[in-house]
Amino acid sequence: MSERNGKDAARSGTERAAILLLTLGEGEAAQVLKHMGAKEVQRIGAAMARLSNVSLDEVQGVISEFTASVERQTSVGVGADEFLRKVLVDALGADKAESIIDRISIGRSTKGLEALKWMDPRGVAELIRLEHPQTIAIVLAYLDPDQAAEVLALLPANMRPEVVARIALLDGVQPSALSELDDIIEKQFAGKSSGKTSVLGGAKAAANIINFLEPSQESALMEQVAKSDAPLAARIEELVFVFDNLLDLDDRGMQELLRQVPSEQLLLALKGTDDALKEKMFKNMSQRAAEMLKDDLEAKGPVRVSEVEGAQKEILKLARKLAEAGTIALAGKGEQFV
């Protein structure tokens, strides 16, 4: 019993959700996925594809856990809101669950905006490029950070600093404004609005988008933002997660990250890293692997800065994906990914 529970605990919330859906069958699983957003479907679909060696005991454990959760949360005295919150947090992680709960609780249906999450970034950029920068800022704040970064990179260079600044300065958006935006995108009213403000934007949202930009784009963009509003640029930069912040990753998290990083990519990334982070990574490898990596670093000739930055960015993307799946906990600047 304890062995099975230990194995279940090792699975992330996304993986447990994937196991549960696989046990439902194609039709039922499809009905569940229809109610999820693009990124949730992609994340759970990827988890399904990765699953292997799932024992019958583990499947039974996941089902038992889900059944127990349903029984606990639908008992007398416990409301549906709390049940929904707990199920979503368990399946998708706290940050993503809160975002979905917020959309549900304010009583609105953002069909037009939600549809953008399924579109190619180039198509989204083409759709919004002629809109007012404030409208573009709201759209990008609504999208997931990685998609928003791709869209931002496709917008005219002279527009990007203003859009990022407006994202950082957003302090919530009235549902009526989102309904109007849905009307622009979908050409129909998106539902009644309540008086509650939707939590979109802010310096943290801007930083999360910037984290997904290429290094050269990130530097140029922040220089432009700083020229027009230096304090705002400083606030955003304080929240941007950089490669050196991996030093704050705990040993278990570092080991999990290193297991999934290609050796050549890690070699390139470490060429531009200080000794403290190198030692942290060496400590979380086997002695043989650490010695081989040290030898490779010494033997590696000069490499372009752009190659080093590119490799570091890819590792950061992987770290963020692992954090979103609940596999590791990132606690860098501003703790925006925890």
**pLDDT given at position 10:** 65
Lowest mean pLDDT among 129-138, 228-237, 277-286, 317-326: 317-326
Same domain, 126 and 91: no
Question: CB-based burial of residue 220 (10 Å sphere; 0-12 exposed, 13-18 middle, 19+ buried)?
Answer: middle
Domain boundary among 172, 207, 239: 239
Question: Average pLDDT in the 52-70 region?
Answer: 77
Q: Is the pLDDT of residue 91 over 70?
A: no
Among 151, 41, 18, 165, which Cα is nearest to 96's?
Answer: 41
Same domain, 165 and 186: yes
Concatenating the DSSP letter of every residue in 65-82 gives HHHHHHHHHTSTT--HHH
Same domain, 175 and 227: yes
Same domain, 221 and 126: yes
Q: How many domains does the chain fold into?
A: 3
Note whether 260 and 318 are within 8 A (CB).
yes
Range of the structural domain that residue 185 is part of = 111-239
Same domain, 29 and 42: yes
- φ/ψ of 100, rounded to 5, equals -70, -40
- How many beta carbons lie within 10 A of that of residue 278, not counting itself? 16
Among 318, 151, 138, which Cα is nearest to 241's?
Answer: 318
**pLDDT given at position 163:** 92
Same domain, 254 and 304: yes
* Crossing angle (nearest 10°) for helices 26-33 and 13-24: 130
CATH number of the domain within which 228 lies: 1.10.220.30
